[in-house]
Structure 1
Amino acid sequence: MEAGKSDNATTSAIWIALVICAGLSVVVWFASPKGPDRLVWRSVLIGSIICMYLMWMITYMAQLHPLIAPKRSDLRAEAFHHGGVSL
């Protein structure tokens, strides 16, 4: 698989999710109930949408580019051959 195709798919998913969340925010802005608490409704719902998007995006990006596991020097060599690590 070419590297460009993978990068385009990653970028596309992030932008599509951003557009969906922006659309939901616009709907919330205009569909919030009228009354003295209208600002509170808008703030809470749009803030929740932003947090939801950020949590999804961070998790998505972390799965695409995971951190390299640290190498421990205090493990015995035979623990690696048997597939188990004793603590």
Structure 2
Amino acid sequence: MSGWTVIGVLVVVSLASIAAWYLAPKGDNQTVWRSSVILTLAMCYLMWAITYLAQLHPLAQPRRSDLRPEYAE
């Protein structure tokens, strides 16, 4: 696991967004369709990336609670 995974997924999401832009069905709702798909991809990516990075580099270190206080440090 590395931080390069986040960049790789960003490239995939960017390509999917570009594809959604050009493959959007023509019509009155083309702008709505494009915006919905691209925003959905962007928000899903952000949620995944934040969760992934939080697990990759946690802010708080886990502590064992089943140890006696003198051995907890």
TM-score range, shorter chain: 0.7 to 0.9
Structure 2, unaligned stretches of length 5 or more?
69-73
2:7 to 15, 24, 32: 15
1:12 Cα deviation from its structure 2 partner: 1.4
The answer to whether structure 1 residue 27 and structure 2 residue 8 are counterparts is no
- Whichever of the two has the greater Rg, that structure is 1
Give the letter aligned to residue 43 of structure 1.
S
Instruction: Name stretches of at least 5 consecutive residues in structure 1 with no aligned partner.
Output: 1-8, 72-78, 83-87
Which secondary structure does the structure 1 equivalent of 2:58 belong to? coil
The whole-number CA distance in structure 2 between the counterparts of 1:31 and 1:80 is 56
C-alpha distance in structure 1 between counterparts of 2:8 and 2:67, whole Å: 45
Which one of 48, 52, 58 corresponds to residue 50 of structure 2?
Answer: 58
**Structure 1 stretches of at least 4 aligned residues deviating more than 4 Å after TM superposition:** 79-82
- Count residues in correspondence: 67
Q: Residues 7-51 of structure 1, C-alpha deviation per residue, up to 9 Å, x if partnerless?
A: xx5231011000000000011001100001000000000000000
CA distance in 1, matches of 2:33, 2:19: 12
TM-score, L = length of structure 2: 0.79
Q: TM-score, normalised by structure 1?
A: 0.67
